[in-house]
Structure 1
Amino acid sequence: MFERQLRQMSAAAISSALDFIRLSVTDDVRVAFVLGTSILATMTFIARQVSKAAAGRILLSDVARVECLSTDRLMHKVVLPARHDAHASKSKRLVLIVPGNPGVPGFYEPFMRRLHELSGQTNEIVGLSHTGHSLPWINGNEAYDLETQVVDKIAYVRKRIEKDPTLSLVLIGHSIGCHIALRLLDHFPTTVEKLVLIQPAVMHIGETPRGRQMMPLFVHHKWVPYLAWPIAQLPTLLKKVLVALFVGPPEFHKAALGMCDHIVVQNCLKMAWHEMQELQEIDHDLVSKHQHKIQFVFSDYDGWCPPHHVELLQRRYTDASHIVVPLPHAFMMAADGSDIMAQHTHKWLGTPMTPPLA
């Protein structure tokens, strides 16, 4: 009997309290504002604690994608292994994707998977991040320049060759990744079988239309990233909502979510600043010597590789393959962009090379 009376009294007290809150909110807007703010603050605090706990966890899927380099730095990667069965090719060919800027391999994963499918999964395909552009915490949140990205890619390829000296290497560079791919060709000329240079940003990019447009942002690469700091502090759930609003294809949401970090932004802008300063003339002797291995893939119009650059490259390197595709510079973001680019790339990789004339 006593317990039933206690329950009735508790229910009555709760009902009275709710009625008081309802009447207070109805009669006074200020009470409604304070109550709403308190509820919002409480929900935000709880979400932040959950977000911090989630961020503190090291995912096994991420650890499995980290490559240790001889440079004492770590690199994030996406790996599509070759198929091993009685019908698979015995050739040891590594197709290496060198990204543009931002250097996040997740943006290239649909392209990689389509290329992997077209090749019958006979080739290992690896997409490498630029150091600090993906999972920045694995390198202590440091920021790196363009030359560091080149050095780390060389370290990765050298490690693979030491493991298997018979390895055949295909390089697929995109944008500034084409410059890095050419540097790899210079270091490993006998190992590199073919190169695909997609929308190549390889010379005088500070003078291109997009380079001039973006220069004010790159000049202030030291402090601009801190404008992204408030976004980095948002709960993960809210960041996912923002990514879904601003990044169209769902397959890129995870890669874009990783960029909601001011350290990643700092790395992207610092690298871009060095690109503007350091990329002048293309290494003509290198490209001329190996042009029979190279396919240039241009866009109808590309602010990073404008028409006069396209004409110059086509005129200089007549033994190279040249194609033009109706895709934007960020081809992977276009509808069917990854599929179209994978089709062209697969066709070129299956085309026998014509050796240069003696």
Structure 2
Amino acid sequence: MLIKTPNHFHPIILASEIAYTRDSKLPVITRFSARCLNKDMGVDDSLLAKDRKRANFRLCSLSSYTSEILEIQADAPSLHVLFVPGNPGVVLFYKDFVEFLYELLGGTASITAIGHVSHSRKDWEHGRLFSLEEQIDHKIDFIREELQNIKIPIILVGHSIGSYISIEMFKKSLEKVKYCVGLYPFLTLNPNSTAQLIIAKIAQSQILAAAASYLIASLGLLPVKTLRFIVRKSLGKSWSANAVEAACSHLSQYHTMRNVLYMALTEFKKLAETPDWAFLRERKDQCAFLFGVDDHWGPLQMLEEISKQVPGIALSIERENHTHGFCCTEPGSLWVAQHVANLIKNQMACTNQ
């Protein structure tokens, strides 16, 4: 049954149950669920050239830990979007995304991106390593300490392992959180991923993890212009200025890389477990996931599994080649921000009917 919608909305297919044919890796749609979505699903590329409200960077003392925060406060917000990054959990990588999302929501939402503890420019925690579970607790504490008194709905948006963290936050903040969006979600291990295997091998060895961290951190000894040149040449000319700056300022820090690898180690241990399908089935109308076509962190096989385990949940596939690292380019940040904005508008419209 289609949901009745206002005149400026119309029902379209958003989620589907997907199967794979024996002789093809391409998904075949077998069943659908309809949602009410805003008609304007296109991306307004003109935003790339327009002036936009800039996100503010600040440090926040949270449960005795110093945390990096990126935020835009709306004058009269009707909701609050809390963004959880992937790993590395450096919020400056998402500056373009946060700013585009604010504009695409018409300034009606305050947006906060919270970095992972000790994935920071300075070693505020004096070399301490933080696990996935500790990073989850850190984000839950942020809601309890920073957003406790707000009366508007909280929308969680997570990228990669941030999607898993967001789901765990949702479980413990049911009264405040009304919707959860996972972008290129890393929810379980991919046995076919060579990259995951290599990272796991390095992370499991303290010697290799320390050596890799020292090697990367040694680049921070180079002059800033030289480091920026190396980052652009090695990681891609398409990277935005904000992404290049984030890589130079944060990934060249030994304590950050050690925490990146240690968090990855604990991720691999935790994500060897079966996802909490019962919770997703219970909250399927309040969750949505965006997958990429060729993403070893969130492969399409995982999309297929979610569609089987949680029929009717909102699933989408990005086919514009923005990849898992969408936040490192302005076009990628804009496309994903548009997708998230449409999901949020749709959810709010359906909720208010």
TM-score range, shorter chain: 0.7 to 0.9
Gaps of 5+ in 1: 1-62
Deviations along 1:148-168, whole A, 9 cap, x unmatched? 11111011011134333x241
Give me the whole-angstrom Cα distance separating, in 1, the residues matched to 2:232 and 2:325.
Answer: 18
Distance 1:107 1:229 in 2: 18
The one-letter code sitting in structure 1 at the alignment partner of 2:154 is: L
Counterpart for residue 210 of structure 1: 195
TM-superposed deviation, 1:237: 4.2
Contact kept in structure 1, 2:204 and 2:265, CA below 8 Å: yes
Once the two structures are superposed, the pairs formed by residues 155-166 of structure 1 within 5 Å of their partners are: 155-164=141-150, 166=151
Q: Deviations over 1:300-334 (max 9, x none)?
A: 12111222211001222223211100231112235
Task: Point out the structure with the larger helix share.
Answer: 1
Runs of 4+ in 1 over 4 A off after TM superposition: 205-209
Question: 1:227 aligned to 2:197?
Answer: no
Q: Letter of the aligned partner of 1:254 in structure 2?
A: E
Query: What is the match of residue 325 of structure 1?
Result: 318
Q: Aligned partners of 1:188, 1:309: CA distance in 2, in Å?
A: 25
Provide the aligned length of Structure 1 versus Structure 2: 287
| 2:136–2:168 CA contact under 8 A, matched in 1 | yes
Query: Superposition pairs for residues 182-331 of structure 1, below 5 Å?
Result: 182-205=167-190, 208-220=193-205, 221-247=209-235, 248=237, 249-258=240-249, 259-279=251-271, 280-326=273-319, 327-331=322-326
The question of whether the paired residues in 2 share the 8 Å contact of 1:105 and 1:128 is answered with yes
Deviation at 1:135, TM superposition (A): 2.3
SS in 2 for 1:189: coil
Bigger share in strand: 2
CA radius of gyration, larger in: 1
Task: String of CA shifts for 1:109-137, please: whole Å, max 9, x gaps.
Answer: 11111110011111110111111112232
User: Is the CA contact 1:106–1:252 (under 8 Å) kept in the aligned structure 2?
Assistant: yes
Equivalent-residue separation in structure 1 for 2:198 and 2:268 (angstroms): 12
Distance 1:204 1:159 in 2: 32
> What CA distance in whole angstroms lies between the structure 1 residues aligned with 2:140 and 2:245?
27
User: Counterpart in 1 of 2:86?
Assistant: 100
Q: 1:60: which partner in 2?
A: none
Output the CA distance in 2 between the equivalents of 1:225 and 1:115: 33
Match of 1:173, SS?
strand
1:342 paired residue among 337, 340, 345: 337
The one of 117, 135, 158 equivalent to 1:131 is: 117
Q: How far apart are residue 211 of structure 1 and its match? A: 1.6
**C-alpha RMSD over aligned residues:** 2.4
Mapped partners of 1:106, 1:67: distance in 2 = 15
In structure 2, what is the Cα distance between the partners aligned to 1:253 and 1:169?
30
- Provide the rounded CA distance (Å) in 2 between the counterparts of 1:64 and 1:350: 26
Q: Secondary structure at the match of 1:139?
A: coil
CA shift for structure 1 position 290: 0.8
In structure 2, relative to structure 1, the CA distance for the partners of 1:64 and 1:105 (3 Å cut) is: closer
Q: Confirm whether residue 66 of structure 1 aligns to residue 59 of structure 2.
A: yes
Aligned to 1:82: 74
Percent of matched pairs sharing the same residue: 25
Q: Secondary structure at the match of 1:138?
A: coil
Q: Which amino acid in the other structure matches residue 233 of structure 1? A: L
Match of 1:176 among 161, 166, 169: 161
Structure 1 CA distance, aligned partners of 2:279 and 2:154? Answer: 17
State how far apart, in whole Å, the 2-side matches of 1:293 and 1:78 are.
25
Alpha-carbon offset, residue 207 of structure 1: 6.2
